[in-house]
Structure 1
Amino acid sequence: MINPKRKILFLCMGNSCRSQMAEAIVNARYGDQWDAVSAGTKPAGYVHPYAIKALQEIGIEHKGTSKSIDQFRGIDFDLVVTVCDDAAENCPVWLGKGKRKHVGFPDPAKAQGTEDEILGVFRTIRDDMLIRLEVLLKESDHK
Structure 2
Amino acid sequence: MAEGWLRHLADDRFDVSSAGTQPVGLNPGAVEAMQELRIDISGHRSKHLQEFLNQRFDHVITVCDRAKESCPLFPGASSTLHWSFDDPASAQGPPEARRAVFRRVRDEIAERIRRFIRDGA
Instruction: Identify whether the pair has TM-score above 0.5, normalized to the shorter chain.
Output: yes
> Larger % of helix: which?
2
Separation (CA, whole Å) in 2 of partners of 1:80 and 1:137? 14
1:23 aligns with 2:3: yes
Could you tell me which runs of 5 or more consecutive residues in structure 2 were left unpaired when the two chains were aligned: none
Partner of 2:87: 107
Higher share in strand: 1
The correspondence of residues 12-51 of structure 1 with structure 2, limited to 5 A, is 21-44=1-24, 46-51=25-30
Distance across 2 between alignment mates of 1:109 and 1:37: 21
Counterparts of 2:116 and 2:95, CA distance in 1: 31
The 8 Å contact of residues 21 and 67 in structure 2, kept in 1 or not, is answered as: no
Say which of 41, 66, 76 aligns to 2:46: 66
CA distance in structure 1 between the partners assigned to 2:39 and 2:107 by the alignment? 13
RMSD: 1.3
Deviations 1:69-114 (A, max 9, x none): 0001111111000100x3xx35232322311001110110110111
* Counterparts of 2:6 and 2:97, CA distance in 1: 26
Which residue of 48, 56, 71 corresponds with 1:93? 71
The residue that corresponds to 2:107 in the other structure is 127
CA 1:79–1:55 in structure 2 vs 1: closer, same or farther (change >3 Å)? same
**Aligned residue number for residue 6 of structure 1:** none
Unaligned residue ranges in structure 1 (runs of 5+):
1-20
Q: TM-score, normalised by structure 2?
A: 0.89
CA distance in 2, matches of 1:101, 1:122: 22
Residues 9 and 114 in structure 2, CA contact (< 8 A), matched pair in contact too = no
CA contact (8 A) 1:80 1:94 kept: no
Which residue identity does 1:61 align to in structure 2?
D
Q: Percent identity?
A: 35
Answering whether residue 35 of structure 2 is matched by residue 56 of structure 1, we say: yes
Q: Call closer, same or farther: CA 1:108–1:67 in 2, change over 3 Å.
A: same
SS state at 1:95 partner: coil
Residue 60 of structure 2 corresponds to residue 80 of structure 1: yes
Question: Where does structure 1 differ by over 4 angstroms across 4 or more consecutive aligned residues?
Answer: none
